[in-house]
Amino acid sequence: MTDASALPGQPRGGALSGPATARAVNVLAPNASAMTLDGTNTWIVAEPDSGLAVVIDPGPLDDGHLRNVVDTAEKAGKRIALTLLTHGHPDHAEGAARFAELTGTRVRALDPALRLGDEGLAAGDVVSVGGLELRVVPTPGHTADSLSFHLPADRAVLTGDTVLGRGTTVVAHPDGRLGDYLDSLRRLRSLTVDDGVHTVLPGHGPVLEDAQGAVEFYLAHRAHRLAQVETAVENGHRTPAEVVAHVYADVDRSLWPAAELSVRAQLDYLSEHGLI
């Protein structure tokens, strides 16, 4: 068995659902799969002494899960006052409209198509509810509309699918772009260096105790994969499928379709920079 402290980001062991920091509680959605890991993490975030809470990523359209989120908040003496989305993929956002019905909340997101209410989210916005402060950090790359939320009081960042609690994420070409993703990882690294962020509250998988280590691992992984893809093309593997079969030969074949999205994003990046 591998010591968790030796893994990238130092993933926290134990149950995924439940309190993660002084202000953040996870309710795990029952949608585990190869792509969603243990399931979607739905985060309830609130000041300890406040009766108001924010929910980030209600998750799939699963009424039992959505009601469980509401019940979890109410048992803690919290009323859900606002819903936020990290991005629009169904495993994070499909349940948002139904959740808004259950809670009477607005839904704020970067993508106007996902919003319920007049307010969206943009870089530099500060979301304040019941004394809670969340700072909006644009982190495109996994998708064009991906956002993270900096929780300064807990020295934490909620990353959606930009950084996962286990493994690495997909650059979902063509909506996701590798150049944007690398910029987003550098932006998150700046939070760890300049703002003291040490905890990652991801959209899937366990909490990470070493935010800087996790982001550095992601940057190194992307550089390594990009070099592998470049070499594969130089060796005559021209199509995305051929590159995947060569570079991702050690990865479960069920994940190859997702890997092909990342490869397409990498090929675009290499072409844009005149490297292939």
Residue type, 53: A
Q: What is the total residue count of the chain?
A: 276
| Nearest of 65, 115, 119 to residue 95 by alpha carbon | 65
| Share in percent of the chain as helix, strand, coil (round to 5) | 35, 20, 40
Residue among 62, 91, 161, 180 flagged as catalytic: 91
Say which DSSP state 132 is in: E
For the chain, what is the radius of gyration of the CA atoms?
19
- Do 225 and 31 contact (CB within 8 A), yes or no? no
The answer to whether residue 91 is catalytic is: yes
Residue among 125, 256, 261 at smallest CA distance from 181: 261
Cα within 13 Å of Cα(10), Cβ side:
8
Burial group, residue 49, by CB count within 10 angstroms (0-12, 13-18, 19+)? exposed
CA distance 135 to 240: 37
Residues acting as catalytic residues: 91
